[in-house]
Structure 1
Amino acid sequence: MQIKKQIPNTITLFNLISGSIAIVFAVEGQLELSAWMIGIAAIFDFFDGFAARLLKVTSEVGKELDSLADVISFGLAPGMILFSMLSNTGSCPEIIITERNIIPFIAFLIPAFSAYRLAKFNLDTRQTDSFIGLPTPANALLIASFPLIISQENNLFGIDMVFFTNIITHAGFLIPFIFLFSWLLIAEIPLMSLKFKTFKWGDNNIRYVFLIASLLLFIFFLYLSVPLIILLYLLLSFFGK
């Protein structure tokens, strides 16, 4: 029984390791690889909960470990991506202290608010069937999509990717984005959960619409679909009840 309890915890540790590797890649400026490691961490994050439910095991250690791993993978790692992007954009305003521009450090609001959100989540009994505020994995995957969008050369509609690259690499976009999504992490806004209690259409029609639409968006737009999927998620959560 003790070994069975450790299976989800082991998967959670792989989440943490993936997030740690993502941070290393971000520090080295390899933002695409960092983004992929955040994606891998998200897969482990899904499967640790799935394994716990499948094996019918729970533990307080597992709950705390999951949050600690998420702070690394979905807080600090995406924060490092944003820090690197702000440090390397020529559009970033300068506030110099000891020969260092401190504006890129705004990126670390993301790990700070992610940690606060996870602490709230652990204590909030309202978030068993839905979320209050944007989940940290969703926020992290959105940020991780930025380097991948920059690397994307085309899509099925032939949309010029240079336009989007110019937007997401500009400090005038990144800085307001950081403030907005830091707030969304802790905002008292009810959002849809993708947990299925049954697979009946009537109980999950909004979830099915979201999943089908997300798949189609990814097919058509590839990485550019991720911001659209997050926007769709927010809209369905607000208006799909």
Structure 2
Amino acid sequence: MKTILHTAESRGKADHGWLNSYHSFSFANYHNPERMNFGVLRVLNDDTVSGGQGFGQHPHKNMEIISIPLKGDLEHKDSMGNTTVIKEGDVQVMSAGTGVFHSEYNKNKNEDVKFLQIWVFPKTQNVTPRYDQISTQDLAKKNSFYQILSPNKTDQGVWIHQDAWFSLGDFESGVTSTYTLNKVNNGLYLFVLEGNVNLKGQELKKRDGIGIWDTNKISITANSPSKLLVMEVPMEM
């Protein structure tokens, strides 16, 4: 098993006043040639948007874009005609494909919205743009990983145009859980949302990320009540 550690403090940071963003990989004005991507995982931004503020309409093309709200309500509008609000417990996916415009705003005036913005390179270029969102409340399981995204339209969770699987985990202190990869030669990027966990002697705290490859499974022990996001992705584009 090989690993690469990205501590919370080592991430790039952008403070725009209305937006505070931490970048696990190079993005916008943050450029680190050693942190361009992890396999097909291109962007992992940890965003906080002030009340009533947001991203104006902007374009995307040939990218799978996943948003996972952690707090508050995020309003989405796009050129496909979708106007929706996503909140904690939801997962949103947009396949940009041949091209799409969208905007994202904090729907509430008096509180921040916090969400993860994740970009994954697709395995198929120039697909027809599409949008979907789900609530994970009925999928959630305590003390085990549960799938929220896959390549398969009929699987649990949302789907994207890539051989990637995302899972969440909500663990009590002292619980050990194993994640088994779905596809040979895929890698894992583990991101700690809350708490403190141990991976084969490596301590990981809140907002630490670690890339893992050359293995078919991992075991994680929660040292405190912890929430985790696991992103299984192809290592070659």
TM-score (norm 2): 0.29
Structure with higher helix content: 1
Structure with higher strand content: 2
Task: From the CA coordinates, give the structure whose radius of gyration is larger.
Answer: 1
TM-score (norm 1): 0.29
